[in-house]
Amino acid sequence: MADKQYIKIFAGFERFWHWTQALLVIVLMITGARLHGLFDGPPWAMAFQVHLIAAGLIILLWIFAIFWHFTTGAWQHYIPTLRNLIPVIRYYAYGIFLGEAHPAKPTLRRKHNPLQRLSYLFLKLVINPAIWITGVLYLTVSLTGFDLGTVAWLHVVAAYAMALFVVIHVYMATTGETVTSYLKAMITGYEWVVVDEDKPGK
């Protein structure tokens, strides 16, 4: 059986970026829902201002995060791989409910399992840019000449995709060895990881 050690695998900025992004996404979803009249709340103008501020902050955060990922080499944790992908999908589909062991334990070189890599990569390369681009187009539609209805629809679709990701992400965060083990790891940075299998090319 592979040795495991309680090691810090999430850096301080990584945890700051994760929780700040989570807070801003929640603010954006709430204010966005208010702007679309899904519930009664603060004045529309106030919700709009808060939405704009939160959008500006999250874009700035994304820029810093992109810079951090490339300068530290952390981007390598998101490279897609087919290795163990099917067993991981099978595990989450029904193996987890049978008490089976997770087929892809985290290591220092591979923080994320194959399914996580694909989902995070999709978030970073599709959902985030879609929200970013349609949001900017929404504000500059009078200058760009794009159809307002189309831009608004695309922005809402991207927002719902983000909301769906958040729901799935929160659920998946409860599927560790304990309900709170993944949550604790993202707060403290420390997690039990496999050591002797943590070799390049594996």
Q: What b/e sequence results for 108-119 when a residue is b if at least 16 CB atoms lie within 10 Å of its CB, and e otherwise?
A: ebbbbbbbbbbb
Q: State yes or no: pLDDT of 86 exceeds 70.
A: yes
Nearest CA-CA partner of 9 in 148, 198, 140, 202 = 198
Q: Is the pLDDT of residue 202 over 50?
A: no
C-alpha–C-alpha distance, residues 117 and 138, integer Å: 30
pLDDT digits (tens, 9 = 90+) for 96-154: 888 888 888 777 777 888 999 999 999 989 999 999 999 999 989 888 888 999 999 99
Model pLDDT for residues 8-42, shown as the tens digit of each residue: 888 899 999 999 999 999 999 999 999 988 888 88
Average pLDDT, the chain: 88
| Mean pLDDT (whole number) for 78-82 | 87
